[in-house]
């Protein structure tokens, strides 16, 4: 997760290397993707011996780790909201291209920096409590963003960093919570199921936010995030 967030952070600052109205940035991204695959494909290593994965459906996963599934869905919603409508929000507020890159970049930097500390905290106080505290703080950070909208770009960048620090680690800790409940032979199927529900949440996030922003204005970006984080707090309170 740290390397993923680091790469996404770097990508934000590559926005100024090409014309966004042309294919140049898409081609640059494709080139990086291809280069990243070369070291992996060039390795010659055997597969570690292990027991065959056990079939494990979503309903079974939900029965043993309902909070893991619910929090993963909601993390998919919140990730998609930040990734798809963070730039839209910044553009509607009059940010330049480099300012949009910085607005998104600080969110991802913060998300990368707190992965290990929050993971350590969840190891010691429990995943459920960590998820609840993170999401409660995420709701407050979103409300801070509503206030920051009237305070200028610097305060909005701070709100973006706070939101990133609380939204982006949620997926990893949610998956860890589900893996705590699943047996070793179930974890491959459980991981596949969690990726699926994360993807479903990612579909819902932009649809919800697009309607909200078009109806209530750009500030709805923060209101939607506050609602999602509040829903995650509720999930942590009622699900195990």
Mean pLDDT of 124-152: 95
Which of 36-40, 44-48, 203-207, 227-231 is the least confident region? 44-48
Distance CA(150)–CA(60), nearest Å, equals: 47
Could you tell me if 94 and 156 are in contact, meaning their C-beta atoms sit under 8 angstroms apart? Answer: no
What pLDDT, on the 0 to 100 scale, is given for residue 24? 81
Helix, strand, coil share of the chain (percent; to 5): 80, 0, 20
Q: What is the C-alpha to C-alpha distance for residues 105 and 160, in angstroms, rounded to an integer?
A: 9
Cβ atoms < 10 Å from Cβ of 101: 20
DSSP readout, 166-186?
HHTTHHHHHHHHHHHHS-GGG
Q: Which residues lie below 8 Å from residue 125, measured CB to CB, with a gap of 6+? A: none
What tokens does 58 get? 């979503």
Kindly state the tokens that stand for 34: 């291809």
| 135 within 8 A of 170, measured Cβ to Cβ | yes
pLDDT at 158: 96
Name the residue with tokens 């300012």: 99
- Give yes or no for a contact between 103 and 86, defined as CB atoms under 8 angstroms apart: yes
* Residue 57 near residue 193, CB atoms below 8 Å: yes
CATH architecture of 2-19+59-238: Up-down Bundle (1.20)
Mean pLDDT is lowest, of 30-39, 96-105, 131-140, 195-204, for 30-39
Ordered by start, the domain boundaries in the chain are 2-19+59-238
């Amino acid at each position: 997760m740290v390397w993923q967030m680091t790469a996404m952070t770097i990508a934000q600052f590559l926005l100024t290397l090409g014309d966004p109205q042309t294919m140049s940035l898409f081609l640059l991204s494709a080139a990086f993707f291809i280069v990243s695959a070369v070291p992996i494909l060039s390795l010659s290593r055997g597969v570690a011996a292990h027991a065959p994965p056990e079939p494990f459906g979503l309903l079974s996963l939900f029965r043993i780790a309902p909070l893991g599934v619910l929090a993963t869905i909601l993390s998919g919603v919140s990730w998609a909201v930040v990734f798809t409508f963070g730039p839209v929000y910044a553009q509607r507020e009059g940010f330049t291209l480099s300012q949009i890159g910085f607005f998104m970049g600080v969110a991802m930097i913060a998300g990368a920096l707190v992965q290990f500390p929050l993971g350590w905290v969840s190891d010691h106080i429990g995943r459920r409590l960590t998820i609840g505290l993170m999401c409660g703080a995420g709701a407050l950070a979103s409300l801070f963003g509503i206030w920051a909208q009237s305070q200028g770009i610097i305060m909005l960048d701070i709100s973006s960093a706070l939101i990133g620090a609380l939204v982006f680690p949620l997926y990893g800790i949610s998956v860890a919570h589900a893996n705590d409940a699943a047996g070793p032979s179930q974890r491959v199927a459980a991981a596949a199921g969690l990726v699926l529900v994360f993807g479903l949440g990612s579909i819902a996030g932009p649809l919800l936010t697009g309607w909200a922003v078009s109806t209530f204005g750009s500030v709805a970006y923060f209101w939607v995030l506050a609602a999602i984080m509040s829903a995650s707090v509720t999930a942590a309170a009622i699900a195990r």
